[in-house]
Amino acid sequence: MSVDGTRLPVAVVAGLHADARRTTVEEILRTVPGSVALHHDLTSAVDSAVHRTVRDAGGLLGSGDAPLVNDCACCALREDMVPELRRLAEGGRHRLAVLELWDSVEPQAMAEVIAAAGAPLALTGVATAIDPALVLPYLSNGDDLADVGLAAAPSDRRTVADTFARQLEYPTVIAVVEDSSCGHGGEVADGTDDALLAQLTPGVRALRVQDGGLGAALLAGFDVVAAAARLHPACALLPQECDEHGVSTLVWRRERPFHPQRLYAALEDLTCAAARSRGRFWLAERPDTLLSWDAAGGALCVESAGPWLAALPEAAWEMVPAERRVAASLGWHHEHGDRCQYLTFTSPGLDRDGLLTLLDSCLLTDDEYAAGRDGWRQLPHAFDDLLDPVI
């Protein structure tokens, strides 16, 4: 069966919480008749191959190995999964194919590959499976994936925390599995864990696997363009102001630019102030560059995300995605346009007052602001090593 009689619905299920992910997939196979799961185990990549399995509710249907591509296990997964999914579609026996991703594989890249493949495949859902009691420990884990045996390629420099954050923030469904067997010593999620998860994932539907409904949610449809826009720094769907069960989200918005040297000096304190912080910002000496802020696990990534909309000629605006134009219009400033500071910090025990004071102290003073852009460009370029590294 397919969504329109010709295409096989495909749902992606990701998650670093391996036990929760497996429980989720087993529940889908049990409750959705005619469903089948495809999984590539990247653990065996040390033997120059990725192990593939296909199973349904009754057990294993088949297995095989996919050779590495450029010594990259994740590349092998990409090369193998679409032909395998097409083979399942051509068989005509399945109502839903579940692509169960290996631990550290992020759902965005795989969802976009499936969406681009077209018929006979139809991407209908993306979920990340989690154990809520493990959300904070994983967001706080700054270990490199390579150090814990979860790297997908020799060049993989990601950490546990930033990988987990992206797994949480991309999908439209979070599959919640509360089970003491999920590898955390019998800890049980409480109100703090639930509040943290809810604040980190605005606009995402959280479903408790044991309550049912997951299969239907993963057949509802998925828009990869909208999903990418939700993560783009210029128009990201960020957490909202909240304080519940000891977990707080601070939303900090200002119009004045940062003093680069003072902000650089405060980076360590700001990075460690919250379990997760995200957003966009601007520096006085780089007034045309939209900068992204992405921090988890005590590590911060600062990158250029291109020009601010206000720095582009109006003729170029039609080339910018509509989501970004809408986001820019909501906070348009008569002088600065869409340039702004928009950062969010989410954590249990957040020191809101201290964080506000520190952030505000990094902005230009009245005298510095009055110097205008010509004066701003003369300020120290403290971020050159981060933004313009010498290769």
- Segment 167-224, tens digit of pLDDT: 999 999 999 998 645 444 455 668 999 999 999 999 899 999 999 999 999 999 999 9
Helix H segments across 4-98? Answer: 18-31, 73-91
Cis link prior to 260 (omega < 30° from 0)?
no
CB crowding 265-296: b at 16 or more within 10 Å, else e: ebbeebbebbbbbbbbbbbbbbbebbbbbbbb
Domain residue limits, the chain: 8-231, 242-387
Residue 154 sits at φ, ψ, to 5 deg, of -60, -25
| CA 10/CA 12 separation, integer angstroms | 7
The per-residue pLDDT for range 304-346, each reduced to its tens digit, is 999 999 999 988 888 888 888 998 898 899 999 999 999 999 9
Q: What one-letter code names the amino acid at 172?
A: T
* Long-range Cβ pairs for the range 39-44 (8 Å, 24+): 39/99, 39/100, 39/101, 39/102, 40/66, 40/76, 40/77, 40/80, 40/81, 40/101, 40/102, 41/102, 42/73, 42/74, 42/77, 42/102, 42/103, 42/104, 42/105, 42/152, 43/102, 43/149
pLDDT band at 78 (very low <50, low <70, confident <90, very high): confident
**Coil, strand, or helix at residue 349?**
coil
- Residue 73 banded pLDDT, cuts 50, 70, 90: confident
Kindly report the average pLDDT of the chain as a whole number: 92
Q: Which pLDDT score, from 0 to 100, does residue 180 have?
A: 42
pLDDT-derived band at 3 (thresholds 50, 70, 90) equals very low
Residue 303 has pLDDT above 80, yes or no: yes
Could you say which architecture CATH assigns to the domain 242-387?
A: 2-Layer Sandwich (3.30)
Which one is the CATH code of 8-231: 3.30.2290, 3.40.190, 3.40.50, 1.10.3120? Answer: 3.40.50
State the pTM of this model.
0.92
